[in-house]
Amino acid sequence: MGLIWPNFIFLLALIPIIIALYIWVLKRRKRFAVRYSSLSLIRDAMPSRVNWRRHIPFTLFLIALTSMILALGRPTVSMQVPSNRATIVLALDVSWSMCATDIPPNRLVIAQEAAKSFIRNQEAGTQVGIVAFAGFAELVVPPTTDKELLLEAVDNLTTARYTAIGSAILRSLDAIAEVNGLIAPADVYLGGDGENEPTPVPAGQLHQDIIVLLTDGASNRGALPLDAAQAANDRGVRVYTIGFGTPQGAPFNCTREQLGGFEFRDGFGGGGFGGGFGGGFRRGLDEETLQEVAALTDAEYYLAESADELLDVFDNVPKHLVTTKMDVEISAIFTAVGALFAFTAILLSQRWNPLP
């Protein structure tokens, strides 16, 4: 617990002074006691009462005074509270393998629906950005609270060759750095001169911003995923990874929109949009790397092999981790406690020692 105005704490020195005065008054009363020839007569005339009970109101008064003094110091406690300034970057794999039909109608359609559900469920004030990656990573929508813009961007995703998971993480970090000045951009982290490398954040002191990366394959282009994950870890940004797809082989079946108007030529399914690579392929998911990326950044890895599982994964990305540590003032609590004890002290004093 901390104090915004710590100088008021010196007022607590009044407590022992008040106690000393109380004891002095009690002794002074004894000195001025009237002598009677028969104490038994006085004893019989006095009401029956427990001797220690007369000190209870004074004790409660001291507790009330202590609480009030602490309230004057404006005490604070550090708490993890939900942040309305959080940034979440969705990094979505749009490689051609996302056209696989093992999860009908194809993986990309289901991933788009799950991503849109995730966007709709975000609380007001949470900024969401979208990075699409295949052979390279591109920021489709910078972090924004405009859900309609985000939903439209997800609907318009198109596919391309290859998979660059590491580049997607770095591009997502750059997007977060644009809106959070405490996070250094990642574009100079790998292959730079070392002068602009950030000082790694202390262990456990993570930012509220996170990356949620979905892929159905293994990285074969761009930065190495674990190097990119280390860059995220140094900046205190979690990277939640999602592996998507089934182990079974499946043909491609991309829509014209998903292909961006491109038609496969001979050798890629006969010139149509429903062709496959030689009758299908098996999932090339690199689960080990995705697990290491998540573990390195203090996040989690999820596997989804159906539409329902993917929806559940997006629902279960820990929103309670999207928090920020801040000092919350609790002086009102001390004021309320002080008032309660003061009222109780007055009530008991009047009940046990009523004024004439």
Q: Where are the domains of the chain?
A: 2-79+336-352, 84-321
Over the chain (356 residues), what is each successive 10-residue block's mean pLDDT?
81 87 77 55 53 78 88 80 76 95 94 96 90 96 96 95 96 94 73 57 80 96 95 94 89 84 41 39 80 96 96 83 67 89 84 64
Q: Where are the alpha helices (DSSP H) in 182-271?
A: 225-234
Residue 78 near residue 21 (C-beta atoms within 8 A): no
172 and 283 Cβ atoms separated by less than 8 Å: no
In the prediction, which pLDDT does 317 show? 86
| 84-321 homologous superfamily | von Willebrand factor, type A domain (3.40.50.410)
DSSP characters over 241-286:
EEEE--SS-B-B---TTTTTT----TTTTSSSSS--STT-B-----
Nearest residue to 165 (alpha-carbon basis) of 94, 96, 88: 94
Whole-angstrom distance, CA of residue 151 vs CA of residue 105:
19
Structure tokens at 174: 């750059």
Prediction pTM value: 0.65
How far is the C-alpha of 71 from the C-alpha of 75, rounded, in Å?
6
Q: Give the Cβ contact number of residue 137 at 10 Å.
A: 25
